[in-house]
């Protein structure tokens, strides 16, 4: 590349203007190849709301050389998940517990079933790059293009209340049938029992002191006994709604995972 610099100089002695031109040649002595850039179409941290978000999310990988996509024959993606001990191993290496994540046949994407991942899952993608077209021979190192994605299960704040209850109980009424109403900022939550458990309590009313509540039912539309309602002081019914937690594989005291007769993992909430 040739650079040309021009300047005008006025001689203070004669007031004559001199126009100066100076060319300069720049030469490349050592060409450096592009450093591959790994890009994933997922945020570094993804919050999963099981009450409204899709259960599965597919993460696609791209390896770029400058502004261009790296040819497929020169790159290979390696997908890994973090284990309980904090180490990363390849997806599918644990044939028992890798039921919540799967790599596509072409290796360019990985699908996470967030409804089965537990409370969180950390997915790492690393890329092997070979300018000679032999990426399988490349040994991954700390300098390999790497991206990490965290999936976090989190149910946002919600509200609940008791509905369909009579103001006064007629004499001799043995049961009532209230309804749990659960909503958030988007309105009524559809099918909340997928993730939430309404718990119903009752206590005999008292003139003073602390009421002694006991659990009597669960569900959105229970049938509650009036047996603890005093004819003189009445009773108090209470509702509490709990997150039942994610579906997870369980293990016994020896670390063996519970499976059925066909060796399929049993998931328990």
Q: pTM above the 0.85 mark?
A: no
Q: What pLDDT sits at residue 33?
A: 66
CB 139 within 8 A of CB 159: no
Which two three-digit tokens encode residue 86? Answer: 């904090």
Residue in the structure block whose two tokens are 């592009």: 34
Q: What pLDDT sits at residue 172?
A: 82
DSSP for residue 206: -
CB 199 within 8 A of CB 160: no
Q: What pLDDT sits at residue 75?
A: 95
Of the CA atoms within 13 Å of residue 204, those in its CB half-sphere come to 6
Instruction: Chunk the chain into consecutive blocks of 10 residues (it has 269) and report each block's average pLDDT, rounded to whole numbers.
Output: 89 87 80 81 95 96 90 95 94 91 96 95 96 92 94 96 85 90 94 95 90 95 92 91 92 84 85
DSSP for residue 232: T
Q: What pLDDT sits at residue 248?
A: 87
Which two three-digit tokens encode residue 118? Answer: 């537990």
CB 172 within 8 A of CB 190: no
Q: What pLDDT sits at residue 32?
A: 63
CB 123 within 8 A of CB 81: yes
DSSP conformation letters of 158-183: -EEEEES--SSPPTT--EE--EEEEE
What is the rounded CA–CA span in Å between residue 258 and residue 264?
9
Which two three-digit tokens encode residue 82? Answer: 């973090």
Q: What pLDDT sits at residue 169?
A: 80
58 Cβ contact partners less than 8 Å away, ≥ 6 residues apart: 109, 110, 111, 112
CB 148 within 8 A of CB 123: yes
């Amino acid at each position: 590349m040739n650079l040309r610099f021009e300047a005008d100089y006025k001689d203070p002695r004669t007031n004559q203007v001199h126009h100066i031109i100076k060319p300069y040649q720049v030469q490349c002595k050592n060409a450096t190849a592009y450093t591959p850039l790994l890009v994933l179409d997922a945020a570094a941290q993804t919050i999963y709301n099981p009450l409204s978000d899709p259960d599965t999310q597919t993460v696609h990988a791209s390896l770029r050389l400058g502004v261009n996509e790296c040819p497929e024959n020169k790159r290979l993606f390696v997908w890994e998940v973090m284990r309980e001990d904090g180490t990363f191993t390849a997806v599918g290496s644990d044939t028992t517990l890798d039921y919540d994540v799967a790599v596509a046949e072409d290796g360019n994407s990985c699908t996470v079933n967030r409804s089965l991942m537990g409370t969180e899952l950390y997915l790492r993608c690393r890329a092997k790059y070979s300018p000679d077209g032999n990426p399988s021979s490349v040994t991954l190192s700390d300098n390999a293009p790497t991206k990490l994605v965290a999936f976090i299960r989190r149910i946002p704040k919600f509200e609940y209340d008791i509905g369909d209850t009579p103001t006064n109980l007629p004499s001799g009424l043995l049961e009532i049938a209230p309804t749990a109403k659960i909503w958030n900022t988007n309105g009524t939550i559809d099918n909340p029992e997928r993730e939430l458990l309404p718990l119903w309590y009752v206590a005999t009313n008292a003139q003073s002191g602390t009421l002694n509540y006991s659990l009597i039912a669960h569900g959105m539309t229970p049938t509650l006994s009036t047996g603890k309602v005093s004819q003189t002081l009445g009773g108090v019914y209470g509702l509490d709604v709990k997150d039942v937690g994610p579906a997870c594989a369980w293990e016994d005291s020896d670390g063996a995972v519970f499976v059925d007769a066909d060796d399929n993992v049993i998931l328990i909430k």
